[in-house]
Structure formats: structure tokens, C-alpha cells
Structure 1
Amino acid sequence: MTTTDSTIPPVTFIIEWENAIDVEDEWAKKAMSSFQNELETNQHRMAAKPRIMYLYDDGAVQASTIQGVIDEVAPKLKDLATLEIVPAPGMTYYKLKNFGVSRTDTELVVMLDSDAGPQPGWLENLLKPFADPEIMAVGGFTVLGHEDLLSKTMALSWIFNLPSERTKTEKRKKIHANNCAFRTEFFRRNPFPDLPGAFKKQCGFWLRDIEARGYKYVRTADAMTVHAPHPGYKFLAWRAWTTGMDRDFQAFHTVTQSRLGRLGYSFKFFASKLSRSWSRILSKGDEVDLPVWQRPIAMALSFAYFFTALLGELSSAATRSFGPLPKTGNNEPPRAIAHGHG
């Protein structure tokens, strides 16, 4: 940072509106309201007025819809920051993030999902690690919101840790594009890769690559957001299938390119994830207020999710072929990718 530790340097917030289209409106509204609260808390520490870009596909949602939510739940945003609602036709999640950074000129850039609500202390703790000039990226701590049996089951089964698992979170080599920050110039030179054949693996491969090339990343559990739960059974079934397809893509590039090996790995992934899920449902159900009598039902739901993911992974392993990973980082070919970050 070029400013004192108590001052927040110039920063731009990149917020996609793709997720807000899928989840129930109340979660997007909660997220926006808590984001406004964080900016208001920190406004006197800002070295410059921050910039906020809400990015959206104008083929899927209208700017007036986003403006309406802002007017309803976060009307102070326009005074706290330079607020922009920017169309990005046809762009999906990671492309929206890259596009936002390409339009940014501040020292730091923060990525936040439209359905991820920052908790008190989020902004300060997310940016604090940049006091070390060698840190290029910081990952926050995202937990899954919950309100009913299905969402409680997924809070215990999903890739996100629970609030009690802060230490485990910081040790995991992961970055989630829903809650992270970067030195802007660094990310502009090293954007999320375009990975044909993958739905949600770009951030994982991005982290592998930059660490393999010697750049420093840190994760902090003190920068917490609460992410909206999955919007219903139909959406979750689709998400399970794409999870399996993505896992096979990752297996091809990090474990084995053998079709038979990929098929075998599918069962290993299924067993490990189901075991983790069932263990957490039984031992940590109280943390999400899951009654004991509902835990067998939660285990059945978890089985259905990971079995669907298994079918997706088997289908991908049996039918899909992949080329080499694209070049990244100023067209430098990525070095060998280490295992164990997935």
C-alpha cells in the first residue's frame, strides 16, 4: 500500500449481477444492504472515493431492475461511492469479473458477488494484507446462508467451510471469486483464464498458476461474507451435474489424462465428498440449527447431490476430451500445476 495502514487506498468494487438473477430477491437485497453498511463504516478511512461497478448482461436483466434494488435497500451507495451500472452483453460470471477489472484504474480491486453479504470488518480485513508489497491477491472467507432443510444440508455439504472452521479455511489453498481482492495491475496482466469445458474452475486454476510462478497469495477468515443458498431443488440438481463435469475437467488436467483413470477418479471424488458431508451433518448439524431428526433426511439429500455429481463426472469422463490449458499471465505458458488445491 502506498498509504498508512489506517487508510484504505483507492479501490474499485466489481459486483456481477448474474447470481442475483438466480437467487431469491431477499438475499441480493441483504447482500447489498450489508455492503452499504461496510462502506459507510469505513468512509472516513478512504484515501479516495471508491468506485462501484455493477456489471450485468442486458440480455438477461435490465439496468432499471438493479437501480430499483439500490434505491430500495442501499440508497446511500450513490453518495458513498462513484456508482456505475455497466452493461456487459453476453458475458458470464468470470468474463464479467475480467471485464470489470479492465475498466478499473484504482490501486486495488475487490470482487464481490451480488448475493454475498459482507459481515462487519470485512473490508478492512480483506485489504489489510496488502500492507505487504509482495502480496498480489487476498481471499476472504465465504459461508453459505441457510434457512430451511435443503440450505442447511448444503451449508454442511458445500465447498464452503462453516464459521467454526476458520483455521481450516485459512490453511486451504483456495480463492473464491465471490470474495477476494487484487492489486489491479497484477490482475489486469493475469486475468481469470478462459477454460472451455469448465463452468466454475477458473479461479482454482488461476491460483495454481500464479503460485506456480512464484506470486504470493494469502487467505483471511476475518473477511467474511454470507452467500445466498442455492435456489431450490431443480437448480441444485443442475449445479450437481455441472460440479461433476467440472471435477472431470480438473482431474484431466491435474490427476490423469487416461479415460479409465478419470472414470476411477470419479468414484474416489464421490466417496470423499459424501464422507465429508455425512460427517459434518452428524457432528456439526447444531451449527446450522439442523434438528437431529432431520439429519437422516439431510444425509439422503447429500447422497442425491453427490450421486448426481458422480453421474455428471462419469458422463464427462466417458465422452469428453480436452486440449491443453490456455496460456496465461502475459502469454507465458503456465508451469507445472501442483496438486492439492482443488
Structure 2
Amino acid sequence: HRLTEIVPQLGMVANTIFSACTGGRYYEVKNAGAALAKGDIVIFCDSDTVIEDGWLSALLKPLQDPKTIAVNGYTYLGCDDFASRTFALLWFFPLRDGDRRFASKRAMNANNCAFRRSWLAGHPFPASNGFKVSCTLLTSQLRASGHDFVRVDARASHYPPRGWRFFFWRALVTGRDADRKYVALASPSQAARVLKATRRWFSTSWKVGGRILTHATRLGMPAWQIPFALIVGLAFCALVFCAQAAMALGLVRDEVENVPLYVGHS
């Protein structure tokens, strides 16, 4: 009832279904929703994102070409204080403005994308113990089938992460996920995995430091906060490395990742 009050015209153009996926993890919920879809195109949008004007038309336009299989929108982190601005600078989403180079190479946004249902039905998000691994595996399948995402300016802001407990947990799970991705797509060799973790530590530390120095002022961060943002960003990269290396060395078991209750809103 609340939905029809907010968008009274919705029932005239769409059938709305609410379906529970009890105990389902992030990608399991998406697969369950896609299985209920009846249209030619399946669009994914998360509840913690806020779409901007023109979002839907921008996401659908490339699909007018029958050769287009998948479209990737443009999700960015909202930010309004030191912590959220720092998160935005070290995150895997591009910034809303002035970040065209990074945006042109952005990975799949599972919270802002569209697929042809005919392809997605045969390629659901792959199962993984990881937190955010399945989207990378699906991207690999997409490219292996001779396709790739069309990246469009379909913008949506993502709720900014909150709290230092989230910071630590997200860094550690990012490291474990990085090792899972490397094993699945490159090599299960322990030596190669440790080397990958080390190289990734240096490369991401360099990139994060550069992004903070280049874009912090544009986000409204006072100059005196920038050194602290650098410390936080490099600490995040170090935690990612520790978790990735620990996974590669067998010090951490490959268990199912779930969001801990103490983390709060992610």
C-alpha cells in the first residue's frame, strides 16, 4: 500500500511482486528475483541506492541494439563527513564527478545494471563463499561468451558506509574475496597467490594515495584532514593485504561470508 501511495501510476505500467528469500545471501536474492521476471530485460537496483533523473532510460538505451547483452550503470558513494568522504576516495565506485578515467574502467555494479533475460537465465550469479565475488565471476562468463558490459551514465548514489567496525570488516572481507577471485580466475598456486597479494598491496596503496591527493578537495574535504585520510586509506590497503595473504597461506579457512550483526548498515 505504501508503494502505491508513493507511485500511484506504477500499477498501470508494471506488475509488482514481493517475494521473500529467507536466509538468502546477496546474490542468491538477485537470482531468486531474476527467476520471477517475465520481461525481456532484467534490471538490478538495490534498496540502499537512490537513482537520479534519467537513470532508467540511460540503462535501457543500449539494449535497443539486439547485440547488447548487459549494461552497467554508474554507482557512486554518497558522502557528507570525513569518514564517508574517505570511503568514497578508497572505494571501488568512481566519484560522482571528475573521475571519468576511473569510471571508464569500473567493474560491474550488481546494484545498478541490466541484462537480457535470455542470457541471464543461463548464467545466474555463480555460487561463491565470498561476499562480493559472484559479480566478478559473472563478468568473466560474460566476456567468455564474447560479450562485455556497455557502461552508461545511469547514475545512482549508494548509502555511505558508517562506522569503523564496518571499515575493518570490509577491508578484511575484501582481502579474502581478492584471493578467492584469483584462485577462481588465475591460479590456485600458493606462491602465486601470495605474490598477487603483495603486488596488489603496493598497486592499490599507490592508487588510493593518488586518488586522495587528487580528489579530496573536490569532495569538500578540508586540507588539514587529507593527511588523516591518507593514513586511513593506506591502513585499509594494509588490512586488505593481510587478509588476502592469510587466505593464500591457509591461515584462514574459506568459509561463507555474511555481514556480521555488529557491522550495521553497509
Measure the CA separation in 1 of the matches of 2:240 and 2:202.
11
Change (3 A) 1:270 1:216: closer
Question: Matched residues, percent identical?
Answer: 31
> Does the residue aligned with 1:87 lie in a helix, a strand or coil?
coil
- Which position in structure 2 is the counterpart of 1:156? 89
Residue 84 of structure 1, CA deviation = 3.0
**1: CA distance between counterparts of 2:114 and 2:55?**
11
Matched, 1:199 2:137: no
159, 170, 177: which is aligned to 1:239?
Answer: 170
Amino acid in structure 1 at the alignment position of 2:133: K
Q: 1:231 offset after TM fit, Å? A: 2.1
User: How big is the shift at 1:102?
Assistant: 0.3
Contact 1:149 1:290 in 2 (8 A): yes
Give secondary structure in 2 for the equivalent of 1:164: coil
Deviation at 1:278, TM superposition (A): 1.0
- State whether structure 2 residue 140 is matched by structure 1 residue 213: no
RMSD: 1.9
Match of 2:206 in 1: 275
Distance 2:127 2:209 in 1: 34
Which of 99, 103, 108 is matched with 1:165 structurally? 99
Instruction: Specify the code of the residue in structure 2 equivalent to 1:179.
Output: N
Give, as a single letter, the amino acid of the residue that structure 2 aligns with 1:104. A
Q: 2: distance between equivalents of 1:254 and 1:193?
A: 13
How far 1:188 moved relative to its partner? 1.3
What aligned pairs does 1:47-62 form with structure 2 within 5 A after superposition?
none
Q: Which amino acid aligns with 2:6?
A: K
Distance 1:168 1:294 in 2: 23
Number of the residue aligned with 1:42: none
Counterpart of 1:228 in structure 2 is 159
Question: TM-score scaled to structure 1, two decimals?
Answer: 0.69
The answer as to whether partners of 1:136 and 1:183 remain within 8 angstroms in 2 is: yes
Q: What secondary structure is seen at the aligned counterpart in 2 of 1:88? A: coil
Cα shift readout 1:127-173 (whole Å, capped 9, x = no counterpart): 00001001111000111111111110011111111122235423x26
Q: Please tell me the residue identity of whatever aligns with 1:115.
A: D
Partner SS state of residue 181, structure 1: strand
Classify 1:146/1:173 alpha carbon distance in 2 versus 1 (closer, same or farther; 3 Å).
closer
In structure 1, the residue matched to 2:76 is: 143
**Structure 1 gaps, min length 5:** 1-66, 323-342
Q: CA deviation at 1:292?
A: 0.8
* 1:22-77 C-alpha deviation (Å, 9 max, x unpaired): xxxxxxxxxxxxxxxxxxxxxxxxxxxxxxxxxxxxxxxxxxxxx7xx56xx8323
Is the partner of 2:98 in helix, strand or coil? Answer: helix
How far did 1:201 drift? 1.3
Query: What residue is the counterpart of 1:117 in the other structure?
Result: 50
Which whole-Å CA distance do the structure 1 matches of 2:30 and 2:58 have between them? Answer: 21
Higher strand share: 1
1:177-213 CA-to-partner distances (Å, cap 9, x unmatched) read 0100111222112111112x32201111111112112
Task: State the 1:254 CA deviation.
Answer: 3.1
Of 108, 122, 136, 1:175 maps to: 108
* Consecutive aligned runs of 4 or more in structure 1 exceeding 4 Å deviation: none
* Kept in 1: contact 2:94–2:106 (CA 8 A): no
Q: 1:85: how far off?
A: 2.6
- Residue in structure 1 matched with residue 262 of structure 2 by the alignment: none
Q: What code does the residue aligned with 1:161 have?
A: P
In structure 2, relative to structure 1, the CA distance for the partners of 1:198 and 1:299 (3 Å cut) is same
1:90 is matched with 23
Secondary structure of the structure 2 residue equivalent to 1:83: coil
CA distance in 2: counterparts of 1:167 and 1:90, whole angstroms:
38
Render the CA deviation track for 1:188-243: whole Å, top value 9, x for unaligned. Answer: 12111112x322011111111121121343111x2011111112110121111100
**Aligned partner (choices 230, 233, 241) of residue 302 of structure 1:** 233
Q: Secondary structure at the match of 2:50?
A: strand
8 A contact 1:134–1:216 mirrored in 2: no
What is the CA-CA distance between 1:271 and the residue it aligns to? 1.2
- 2:92 is paired with a residue of what secondary structure? coil
Count of matched residue positions in the alignment of Structure 1 and Structure 2: 249
